[in-house]
Structure formats: C-alpha cells, structure tokens
Structure 1
Amino acid sequence: MTGRLLLKVLLFGFIAAGVGSMLHKSALSRAAALKARPAAAAAHAAPVKASAGVSQNTAVVYYFYTNTRCASCTQLEAYTREAVETLLSAGYKGWRVEFKGVNVEEPGNEHFTQDYRLESKAVIVQKFSGGKPLDWVKLDKVWILLGDNAAFVNYVAAETRQALDKK
C-alpha cells in the first residue's frame, strides 16, 4: 500500500511541476508581449497596411493562425469561412465582405501580430475604404462558441455587420 501511495505522490508531483512550468512560460510570454506593445496603441482604430487587392468599401474577415494547428484551430477557420460565405457573401449595406486565412508565421505576414496585438489564433474584422484601412474589431467570443456551429456562424456575421454599421 505504501508503494502505491508513493507512486501516486510522485505522479502528482510530476504533473504539478509540468503544469507549473507551462504556467510560468505562459506568464513570461504574456509579459514579453505586453512589454512589446506601444502604450499609445490602445485604440482599435489604428489601421494597418491595406491588403493587396482590397477594393472600395470592403470588410476582410481575417482568421490568423500559425504553422501549428490543432483540430479546434482548423474548425475555427472552417466556421469563420462558413459565416462569411453563407451569411455575408452578398455583401452588407454596400460593403463587400471577404474571408482571408493568414498564417502569421509566413514571411511578410509577421506584422499582423503587432498590428492586431495577436497572442493566439484570432478572428479580426478589418474595414477598408478606397484601399485605405479603417477601424477593426477582434471577435473575442469565437473560442467560447466553437462547440456550437450555428451560434459561432451567427456571432461572426452579427459582429461583422455591427462593425460595418459603425461610422
């Protein structure tokens, strides 16, 4: 019996050390990201460079990802694409809406991480008018709604419409 107890204690200690290590690395990563952010970049109205091929009054619903992708990450992309292609493909109040998946680890795409203050995979709605970037919004609830396709798709469409309704 004491051998089993000792084994349980050792396993628990190993798991606790692993979790502690992950939390420590995560805290260091977040601290570095916060330190790298300029203090004045708090407003979402700070535009980024215009995407190639963006025409007059276009909203781009971006899904930003990295080389490492899990099943949830690919599902996030699929649901976001579905929202744009099924509920927004006809446009909205004079705005053309398009979907773009962007790997931020590919050469030339690194700037998106700073432009949108990305810390993980994310969905961003960016407005462009006449090729010039306007305001943008990060859709924070996509991870929470990932288990419900209909709620996810409706959320992305509703948030995109709300962003386009803002003057």
Structure 2
Amino acid sequence: MDLQKSLSVCLLTFFFATIVVLIAKAMDNQAASRLEPQLTRIADQLEALTASGGFPVASSTAVTSAEKPDRVVVNYFYSTTRCTTCRAIESQTSEVVQSQYAAELQDGTITWKTLNYEDDRSGLMEKFEIVMPVVVLTRFEDDEMADWKRLDQVWGIVNDKPAFASFIHDEIDAMLSEVYQSKSIARTQSQPVEDDTPIDSEEPSPADLPLPE
C-alpha cells in the first residue's frame, strides 16, 4: 500500500512537471529561462526518488508484533491543537515505554498507542471521560477490556522528568502485575489437582477386634 502511494505521488509530480514544461513552451523565452532552474530541481528530485525506491514511509508508533489477548495498552490521547506540555507528556511516556518495556512491546504484552480524541469514533473518549490530553492505561483479558485507569497526575509532574518516569513506570507495573497474576491463576486452574491424601490401611474387620473382658 505504501509503495502504491509512493508511485502515485511520483506520477503526479511528473505530471505536474510536464504541465509546467508545456506552459513554459507557450511563454516567451525570458519566462521559460526563469522556470528552467525550478524544472531542473524537480527533475533531480524525481531522479533521487527513483533511485531510492520512492518516498520514505513514516514509522508508526504501533507495535508490529501481534497483541496478546491478555495485555496492557498504554494510550496517549491528544487533541488537534498540540501544545508544548502535551507533546512533552507524549514523548516522556513513550520514552518510558520504549526503554523500560522493550521485551513486553516485542511480545505484545504491552502496546503503545496514540489517538486524537477529537476524532475518536470508538467511544473511548466518553468511556474514559477525556476532556484534555492524557495517558490512559487499559488492561485486557481474553481480548476484552477488563480494567482502565486515567493518569491525570501527568500534568502536575511533567516538568519533573525523573518523577514523571517513575510514576508512569509504577502505574504500568501495577497493571502489568494483574495481567501476570491472571495468567498464573488461569494456568493453575487448568492443571489437574493431584490428590495427596495418604491411602488409609484397611480397616480391621469385627472379627479382628479384641473382645472386652
């Protein structure tokens, strides 16, 4: 899909460059000479793009590995208007997730997602009662949301980077421990229970009992 988009952009650029050439030919020589440097620059850019295989594809913040049915999702909800503080909350949260939970990101136990809540069509904005950019942790069991927590405190500690990182780490750990705990309980319940009750010896028959004197 990305390759198709790149090819389409290249073709459109070439098309517009052709139009410019035709217009230049219809104009006088003086106007055409003024357009020549621009046309040369467009041609050079097209040649460079062709050699590199097209336009570079922007990397996504989503995890490429498959999400596990039991997982924690670290969501950052932002608005269309981005302020410096909002961007700092996003970047510092992402830094904690990427640096301290690399293994969990890789195996899908943790997922990092960003979403413009003003364009939200999933109903999460109403569910989480979001009125401003914020971090929300969600926990899934069997691919169904089992718990969530909105971290409003990030606004008060965003300027204290160590405190911010510690807070995000502690909150993720707390919710992640619930994922591991539920998995442990599930494994325990699925294992057969061994009967450790000792086998009693055979009860003596009435004939073997001593008679009272």
TM over 0.5: yes
Question: 1:54 and 1:91, CA in 2 relative to 1: closer, same or farther beyond 3 A?
Answer: closer
Q: Secondary structure at the match of 1:144?
A: helix
In the aligned structure 2, how far is the partner of 1:143 from the partner of 1:107? 22
Instruction: Report the alpha carbon displacement of residue 90 of structure 1 after superposing the two structures with TM.
Output: 1.9
1:1-167 equivalences in 2 (<5 Å): 54-91=67-104, 96-106=109-119, 108-109=121-122, 111-166=123-178
Instruction: Report the alpha carbon displacement of residue 104 of structure 1 after superposing the two structures with TM.
Output: 1.1
- Larger helix fraction of residues: 2
- Two-structure CA RMSD over aligned residues (Å): 2.1
In the aligned structure 2, how far is the partner of 1:119 from the partner of 1:153? 23
In the aligned structure 2, how far is the partner of 1:95 from the partner of 1:138? 21
Contact 2:67 2:111 in 1 (8 A): no
**Greater relative contact order, per chain length (Cα 8 Å cut-off, separation 6+):** 1
Q: Secondary structure at the match of 2:104?
A: coil
Contact 1:60 1:97 in 2 (8 A): yes
In the aligned structure 2, how far is the partner of 1:134 from the partner of 1:108? 20
In the aligned structure 1, how far is the partner of 2:82 from the partner of 2:114? 13
In the aligned structure 2, how far is the partner of 1:122 from the partner of 1:150? 18
Larger Rg: 2
Instruction: Report the alpha carbon displacement of residue 97 of structure 1 after superposing the two structures with TM.
Output: 1.2
Q: Letter of the aligned partner of 2:143 in structure 1?
A: G
Q: If the length of structure 1 is used for normalisation, what is the TM-score? A: 0.61
Q: If the length of structure 2 is used for normalisation, what is the TM-score? A: 0.49
In the aligned structure 2, how far is the partner of 1:54 from the partner of 1:118? 25
Q: Deviations over 1:132-152 (max 9, x none)?
A: 111011112111110022221
Q: Deviations over 1:67-100 (max 9, x none)?
A: 01101101110011111111122229x9711211
Gaps in structure 1 of 5+ consecutive residues: 1-52
In the aligned structure 2, how far is the partner of 1:107 from the partner of 1:121? 13
Q: Secondary structure at the match of 2:92?
A: helix
Contact 1:88 1:157 in 2 (8 A): no
Instruction: Report the alpha carbon displacement of residue 129 of structure 1 after superposing the two structures with TM.
Output: 2.2
Q: Letter of the aligned partner of 1:75 in structure 2?
A: A
- Larger strand fraction of residues: 1
Q: How many residues align?
A: 113
Gaps in structure 2 of 5+ consecutive residues: 1-65, 183-213
Q: Deviations over 1:86-138 (max 9, x none)?
A: 1122229x9711211110122525x1211111121110110112211110111
